[in-house]
């Protein structure tokens, strides 16, 4: 990973902490309202919620694990996927139950808690993990950049779809992106450290 990814994860972790402390403030409420007015009821953006649905995430996760198994017997990579996406989902559920923020008041609303957004957090973890392994041994700088740009755009649209469908506040989505990215970097740091140790003792 690029070195600047690491300090950025500290910034996002701090940003998540700020939102956790102040999501009930008037300023955040006003921001959430403005974002709801901007993206609410956007049918095109709303379609992207399918790319963050639990069934889709589970399917993609299994495909990625199988790919890492057959391609290179990358057991640490397989554990990376489990820690990033699997435990990331557990972490999201734990945070929701701890914070207990109610979702926006709209008809036929979901019954689970709202903060942070699972689609935003787990969606980021899923798509960033895929991009990580697609670019891990990619020699072309251009292809690396294109993969990450597409990944970031998909991640953004998945998160925004929750605002478009009034399933989450914008602050839920941003919080999900922030804590998701921080957790992704933590797992990536572990993975890269273990790879360095393995190479050191096999040389």
Q: Name the residue with tokens 């057959």.
A: 70
| Cα within 13 Å of Cα(166), Cβ side | 10
> Across the chain, what does the average pLDDT equal?
90
Say how far apart CA 201 and CA 194 lie, in whole Å.
11
Percent of the chain with pLDDT over 90: 70
Q: What is the mean pLDDT of residues 135-139?
A: 83
In contact, 5 and 185? CB cutoff 8 Å:
yes
pLDDT at 124: 96
pLDDT at 1: 60
Task: Quote the number of domains for the chain.
Answer: 1
pLDDT at 111: 77
Where are the strands (E) in the chain, listed by range? Answer: none
- SS3 for 100? coil
pLDDT at 184: 96
Does the model's pTM come out above 0.75?
Answer: yes
Task: Give the domain range for residue 160.
Answer: 5-202
201 has pLDDT over 80: no
Q: Which of 46-50, 86-90, 181-185 has the lowest mean pLDDT?
A: 46-50
Say how far apart CA 73 and CA 67 lie, in whole Å.
9
pLDDT at 138: 80
Per residue in 52-99, pLDDT tens?
998 999 999 999 999 899 887 888 889 999 999 999 999 999 999 999
Helix residue ranges per DSSP H, the chain: 5-22, 26-39, 43-46, 54-72, 75-81, 88-99, 118-135, 141-164, 170-202
pLDDT at 178: 97
Q: What is the mean pLDDT of residues 130-136?
A: 91
């Amino acid at each position: 990973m690029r070195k600047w990814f690491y300090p950025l994860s500290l910034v996002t972790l701090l940003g998540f902490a700020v939102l956790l402390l102040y999501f009930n403030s008037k300023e955040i409420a006003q921001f959430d309202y403005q974002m709801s007015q901007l993206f609410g009821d956007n049918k095109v953006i709303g379609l992207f919620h399918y790319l963050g649905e639990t069934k889709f995430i589970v399917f993609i996760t299994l495909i990625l694990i199988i790919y890492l198994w057959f391609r290179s017997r990358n057991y640490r990579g397989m554990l990376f996927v489990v820690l990033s996406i699997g435990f990331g989902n557990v972490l999201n559920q734990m945070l929701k139950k701890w914070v207990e923020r109610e979702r926006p008041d709209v008809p036929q609303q979901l019954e689970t808690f709202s903060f942070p957004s699972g689609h935003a957090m787990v969606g980021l973890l899923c798509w960033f993990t895929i991009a990580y392994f697609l670019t891990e041994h990619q020699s072309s700088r251009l292809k690396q950049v294109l993969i990450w740009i597409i990944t970031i755009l998909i991640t953004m649209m998945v998160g925004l779809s929750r605002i478009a469908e009034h399933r989450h506040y914008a602050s839920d989505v941003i919080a999900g992106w922030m804590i998701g990215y921080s957790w992704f970097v933590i797992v990536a740091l572990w993975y890269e450290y273990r790879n360095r140790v393995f190479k050191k003792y096999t040389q």
